[in-house]
Chain A
């Protein structure tokens, strides 16, 4: 099963908002609520930022929000901060009982 499609990179200035897209199919993103987003800083383990399309785990800033339309999910980060610079990965549960990740998006805060 192919990975979900994410842009390789996005950038924004401090205080701005950015959106990262994640495109799949009806057999993954389009078929279930189990879409998640992870943040990964260099040399660190991934951190869950959004689960079940739009929910934030305790402790995650409300500057992070998630949404879904059809087979495309999105992560929006508002009020960009330098500490947001990281790699972001989407993931989705699939119809064949597996989990797939997107290829990852490198966020640069200018």
Chain B
């Protein structure tokens, strides 16, 4: 069974840094593109970032580019999101998700999602 479990969310002050982790199991991790998507409570989904199978190619949404960094450790079956210069508007649930297709050439669609982790940026 595919499982994705996010961790690392907490209350953090504006300007601070936080690293989210997503532990994957139940599939061959290094065959898949992984992504982070966030959702402000009560609002819509926003794509944050994605990473290819070996970490060599990454992508970011405009609102986080230059502040967030995605990475992965295939030996640990984990993907990470380093969030720097955090702002109040970064407050959201953060989901990690797996690409639908193995060996995908890009971040197109995602068929398994974690339960989400809340990040609150507040003074």
Contact = CB atoms under 8 A, between A and B. Distances in A.
Given A45-B95, A46-B45, A101-B46, A93 B61 contact: no
Given A99-B50, A103-B44, A45 B113 contact: yes
B40 to A, nearest CB: 11
Given A34-B109, A57-B100, A99 B95 contact: no
Given A45-B95, A52-B109, A91-B47, A98 B114 contact: no
Nearest to B57: A97
Nearest to A57: B111
B35 A101 contact: no
Contacts of A45: 95, 113-116
B115 A101 contact: no
B107 interface: yes
Contacts of B108: 34, 36, 51-52, 93, 99
Contacts of A40: 45
A94 to B, nearest CB: 10
A1 B62 contact: yes
What secondary structure prevails in chain A residues at the interface with B? strand
Interface of B: 35, 37, 43-47, 50, 59-62, 95, 97, 100, 106-111, 113-116
Interface of A: 1, 3, 34, 36, 38, 40, 45-48, 51-52, 57, 89, 91, 93, 97-104
By Cβ-Cβ distance, the 10 closest A-B pairs, closest first, are A45-B113, A34-B108, A36-B109, A51-B109, A99-B47, A104-B44, A101-B45, A48-B111, A103-B44, A89-B45
23 contacts: A34-B108, A36-B108, A38-B45, A45-B113, A46-B45, A47-B113, A48-B100, A51-B100, A52-B108, A52-B109, A57-B111, A91-B47, A93-B106, A93-B108, A97-B106, A98-B47, A98-B59, A98-B62, A99-B35, A101-B45, A101-B46, A102-B44, A103-B44
Given A46-B97, A99-B59, A101-B45, 13 more contacts: A36-B108, A48-B109, A48-B110, A48-B111, A91-B45, A93-B108, A98-B59, A98-B62, A99-B35, A99-B50, A99-B107, A100-B47, A101-B44
